Structure 1
Amino acid sequence: MPIRPDPDTVRVGEFEAPRPEWLPIELTDRINSDAALAEARITEAWNSVGVSPDRSDRVAAATIAGAALGAGIGAVTAAIPAAVVGGVAGAGIGTGVGAVVGGVVGVGGAMIAGAAGAVGAALATGGVAAIPEIAAIPILAGGTIGTAIGAGAIIGGVAGAGLGAVGAGAAAALGGAVVGGLLGGAIGSIVGVGS
């Protein structure tokens, strides 16, 4: 039979604490219900093989608390280094991609601006001023392309770092949570058996 904790309390196995203000009541109820159900199933399994109900309750509570603690520790331990590595790799890739995209945008912008300036000068002066304007296209293009490459590299680097950190961190956190939960559950069941 699942154990129902006091209102505004989070209970996961042997671990019991007041509900933090930032944790919604609905999520607290879900955590409590799922943990209590898992604990009840473990208790039933131990009872079915002849372990006394009192002892199987202690083992189940320790197993659930250990699994939750291990999952949390494993997730954080794996996620932080993976997020750093993913962020660095993402920044490198994003900087390169951003620089290329910025260069393409810069070339296009410089060509359009230079051509528009030459056409405007030709129309305004009957073609006489178009020659210096056309000569200025490479100068304008160089500045525009350089600015666009720099801006693209910065934007790409920041975006790549963020995406790399989140992607690698989340994947590692999931793996760390699984491994930590298994280890914590095993340790919790051993501690629970000894109590």
Structure 2
Amino acid sequence: MKQVKILTSTDASIRTPLLSWLRQQHPDHLTAKMLEEFKMPRPSARIDVALVNGEMAGFEIKSDRDTLNRLTVQIPAFSKFFDRVSLVTTPRHLKDAKSKIPAWWGIVVFGDDGRFRVVRTSRRNKNVDVRALLFALSKKELIQVARMADAILATTLRKETMVEVLTSTIASSVICNLAREVIKIRTTCC
């Protein structure tokens, strides 16, 4: 009689050990911050875990009970925003994941033994959209970015105008670094 494997992993059964695993590699102190359910408004998406350090790394969980269908929307959104992205999945999705996600994305497999195995290390995204990153900040946070860059930004401006002013007056690499710093000091995620 053929044995049927029961699909047991869920987002929750992977997330808790993932957070512990990431904390072991990146202790939550002044240089690293982990945020769950990180929202990106343009395009609208939410990643399961964002690790903010010298760069923004995103971790999207796909458990046995998930499908990979939403990746068609998530890939472009996450690829605009994060410096690195890793899909955290199970052996069930490994083959399909390899063919669906960009080559620069990492793949981490959560095994039946409760351990994580890096199948493919993420590489640096060369196409981060600075505007998308800025739209993830509140107006108050945009003003913080401006102050940190010794720039002047009127508090009465619309958010779209604030983003335009920042992107036209401050180098993209500086904006990315300052935006990361502002995100790290958030007390809650989004």
Structure having greater relative contact order (Cα 8 Å, sep ≥ 6): 1
Whether the TM-score (by the shorter chain) exceeds 0.5 is no
Structure with the largest fraction of helix: 1
What's the TM-score, normalizing by structure 2? 0.23
The structure whose Rg is larger is 1
Structure with the largest fraction of strand: 2
What's the TM-score, normalizing by structure 1? 0.23
